[in-house]
Structures are given as structure tokens and as C-alpha cells.
């Protein structure tokens, strides 16, 4: 019953609007105001354009300033300082153009609105002016490109030798990380060796794999270069560490990498943000299916000493999954037993 009443009400309102519309347009024709060009609506539109510009420029500055801390994430990596700085330099330059060009647009619209007595200026071109506004943007953009190239090459340069290596693998719908262990070398892998337990497809005929360990969270040391070796197992994913300005796709069949230097430990960030529960998070930014929005992994940035301690306390994966010792070739069995601390029984 209620729905019917609402429905009727809506129809009634629509009918009334329709009638008003019809009456208004007939009146216009009768008055002949539809033929006038210097009409009230021309003036109203002109004024509204100007008003729109003023109000929105004020709103833009107000929101950008008032909410600054909310929409800028604190930065926790060395290269992040560079990208952030470049972002703000670009914002400053484009911001000026944004305001001036829009202001000119709306101001001209208002200022030069139609007058019966007026006549437009016949002004088809002006080569000097055109050259100026081609060359000036070109110069500004060249400077921005130069600056950008410098930062970009710096970020994508070869990672330093001494980088801490972490392997990050994306799959539907989570991340797994693997560390090289004490030998500092990640064991080889092959996707055909993947099974529900050996999720990385680690190849245990490679002796570098014996001490690899697979923790539940990423840990990285503060102040040291960290090299993420990134891969995916099923579809594209993308490693995204918002606070570190790190982003790199994970591609099945094509390992990628990204290296960076964390500058603030989790503890320091908790203090800076005043949030005792703060954690760095790793998210996925490449659409990968149903659970794309939930691929969360916590990343902990430790002071170097703590990191060392944590690293050394981790148990090799093989130790936790001794059945996989059987995959180790005969002649490496002994080494595997020593590394994992398991006595193979035979």
C-alpha cells in the first residue's frame, strides 16, 4: 500500500514538473524571449560561471590545506623523499597553470558575454603569442623531464651488492615471502614443483634452498637496502608498499624486482603517527580476481640489531617440513641434514 502511495506521489510530481515545463516554454515563445540573445539567461549563466570559479578555487585551497595531513601518507623510504619532492614540485608548477587557465576561462566567459551593442574582435592569430605559448610549456616540461629522468634512473638503478634479499610471491589471494637464510642465497624454484605445501615450488636439488625460510610477515632492517624479488604464481599481482612509495607488478613467468631503503622502523612510525597499533602494510594494486582487495601482508621494519636477531632465529622451511628432505638428491642429503638440523633416518 505504502509503495503504491509513493509511486503515485512520484508520478504526480513528474506530471506537475512536466506541466510547469510546458507552460514555461510556451510563455517564452509568447514573450518572444526565446529569440533574444542578450537575455536574462545569458547573464545568469555568465554570472554563474564566474561564481563557480570563485567558489571552487576557495574550496580547493581550503580542502587541500585543511586536510593535508589526512591525504598525505608519511614517507618511510629514502627514494620516497625524492618522489614526494618531485610530486610537490610538479604540483606547484601545474597548480599555477591549473588556477590561471581555469580562471582565465571562466573570467573571459563572464567578461565577454554577449551584448547586443558589442562586437567581437576579429583576431584570427598572432604568431608571436603562439610561439611563446608553445615554447614556454616545452621548456618547463623539458625541465620536469630532466628532473624526472634523474630520479627515475636513481630509483631503478642496480641494487647495491649488500642488499637484503626478500622474495615476495603473489598468488590468489595472498602474499608469501621467502628469505635466503644464512647462506644469503635463495634456492632455485620451478613452478612445476609447486604443491599445497611447497607453495613456492622450491627446488630442493639446489643446496641454496636448504636454509631458506618462510616467515608469516616481512621483516626488513632500517637503513639498509632491501631488494624485493617479486614473482607471481597464477595471475598478475602488484606489490604495493604505500609508505615506502614502492610499487612493482608481479608477473607469472617474469620475475621483477624493486629495491629501496627503509628509513623509519615500525616503532618510530608508531610514535610519529601517535598510533600504537600502526603497521606497515603491503597491498596488491593489480586486479587479480575476487580477493584483490584483501591481499594484505604486514611488513615490519626493525632496527638492524633486532632484524639480525629475528633473522637468525628463523627456522628453515625444510626443518618445518621434513618430509621434503626426500626430494633432496642423495649426495646432498648430508648437507641438508646439517643445515636443517634434522637427522635423516637411514
Does the footprint of other proteins cover residue 27 (CB under 8 A)?
A: no
Q: What angle do CA 87, 91, 95 make, to 5 degrees?
A: 175
Encode 29-61: b = buried (16+ Cβ within 10 Å), e = exposed: eeeeeeeeeeeeeeeeebeebbeebeeeeeeee
Nearer to other proteins, 148 or 215 (CB): 148
Rounded least distance, CB 242 to Cu ion, Å: 15
Instruction: Looking at residues 147 to 176 of the shown chain, list those that interact with other proteins (rule: CB under 8 A).
Output: 148-149, 151-153, 155-156, 171-172
Nearer to other proteins, 29 or 335 (CB): 29
Instruction: Looking at residues 91 to 150 of the shown chain, list those that interact with other proteins (rule: CB under 8 A).
Output: 91, 94, 97-98, 101-102, 104-106, 108-109, 112-115, 118-126, 129-130, 133-134, 137-138, 141, 144-145, 148-149
Reduce the DSSP state of residue 241 to 3 states and report it: strand
The grid coordinates listed for 134 are 608553445
Q: Of the candidates 230, 246, 284, 328, which one interacts with Cu ion according to CB under 5 A?
A: 284
Candidates 221-229, 264-272, 290-298, 317-325: pick the segment binding other proteins (CB under 8 A).
290-298
Reduce the DSSP state of residue 174 to 3 states and report it: strand
Kindly write out the interface string for residues 223-252 of this chain, putting x where it contacts other proteins by CB under 8 A and - elsewhere.
-------x--xxxx-x-x-xx-xxxxx-xx
Instruction: Looking at residues 231 to 260 of the shown chain, list those that interact with Cu ion (rule: CB under 5 A).
Output: 237
Instruction: Looking at residues 53 to 72 of the shown chain, list those that interact with other proteins (rule: CB under 8 A).
Output: 56, 60, 63-64, 67, 70-72
Rounded least distance, CB 236 to Cu ion, Å: 8
Alpha-carbon distance of 220 to 209, in angstroms, equals: 20
From residue 220, alpha-carbon distances to 77, 173, 240, 280, 299 in Å are 12, 23, 15, 11, 8
Alpha-carbon distance of 325 to 331, in angstroms, equals: 12
Nearer to other proteins, 160 or 304 (CB): 160
Q: Which does 62 bind (CB under 5 to 8 A by kind): Cu ion, other proteins, none?
A: none
The grid coordinates listed for 54 are 570563485
Nearer to Cu ion, 284 or 336 (CB): 284
Cβ(248)–Cβ(228) under 8 Å? yes
Amino acid at each position: 500500500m505504502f509503495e503504491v502511495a509513493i509511486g503515485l506521489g512520484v508520478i504526480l510530481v513528474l506530471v506537475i514538473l512536466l506541466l510547469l515545463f510546458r507552460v514555461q516554454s510556451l510563455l517564452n515563445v509568447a514573450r518572444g524571449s526565446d529569440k533574444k540573445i542578450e537575455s536574462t539567461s545569458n547573464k545568469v549563466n555568465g554570472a554563474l560561471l564566474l561564481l563557480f570559479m570563485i567558489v571552487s578555487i576557495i574550496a580547493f585551497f581550503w580542502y587541500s590545506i585543511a586536510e593535508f595531513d589526512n591525504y598525505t601518507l608519511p614517507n618511510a623510504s629514502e627514494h620516497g623523499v625524492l618522489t614526494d619532492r618531485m610530486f610537490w614540485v610538479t604540483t606547484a608548477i601545474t597548480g599555477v597553470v591549473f588556477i590561471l587557465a581555469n580562471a582565465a576561462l571562466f573570467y573571459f566567459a563572464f567578461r565577454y558575454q554577449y551584448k547586443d551593442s558589442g562586437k567581437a574582435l576579429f583576431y584570427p592569430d598572432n604568431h608571436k603569442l603562439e610561439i611563446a605559448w608553445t615554447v614556454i610549456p616545452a621548456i618547463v616540461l623539458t625541465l620536469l623531464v630532466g628532473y624526472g629522468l634523474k630520479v627515475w634512473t636513481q630509483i631503478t638503478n642496480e641494487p647495491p651488492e649488500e642488499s637484503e634479499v626478500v622474495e615476495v610471491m603473489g598468488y590468489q589471494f595472498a602474499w608469501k615471502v621467502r628469505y635466503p637464510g644464512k647462506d644469503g642465497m635463495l634456492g632455485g624454484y620451478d613452478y612445476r614443483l609447486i604443491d599445497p605445501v611447497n607453495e613456492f615450488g622450491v627446488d630442493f636439488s639446489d643446496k641454496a634452498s636448504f636454509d631458506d625460510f618462510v616467515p608469516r610477515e616481512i621483516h626488513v632492517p632500517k637503513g639498509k637496502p632491501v631488494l624485493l624479488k617479486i614473482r607471481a604464481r597464477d595471475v598478475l599481482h602488484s606489490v604495493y608498499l604505500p609508505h615506502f612509495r614502492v610499487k612493482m607488478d608481479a608477473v607469472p613467468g617474469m620475475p621483477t624486482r624493486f629495491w629501496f631503503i627503509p628509513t623509519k622502523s615500525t616503532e618510530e612510525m608508531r610514535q610519529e603517527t601517535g598510533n600504537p597499533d600502526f603497521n606497515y602494510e603491503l597491498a596488491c594494486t593489480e586486479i587479480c580476481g575476487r580477493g584483490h582487495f584483501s591481499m594484505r601482508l604486514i611488513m615490519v621494519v626493525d632496527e638492524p640489531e633486532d632484524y639480525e636477531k629475528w633473522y637468525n632465529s628463523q627456522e628453515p622451511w625444510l626443518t618445518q617440513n621434513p618430509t621434503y628432505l626426500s626430494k633432496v638428491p642423495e649426495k646432498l642429503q648430508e648437507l641438508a641434514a646439517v643445515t636443517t638440523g634434522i637427522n635423516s633416518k637411514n
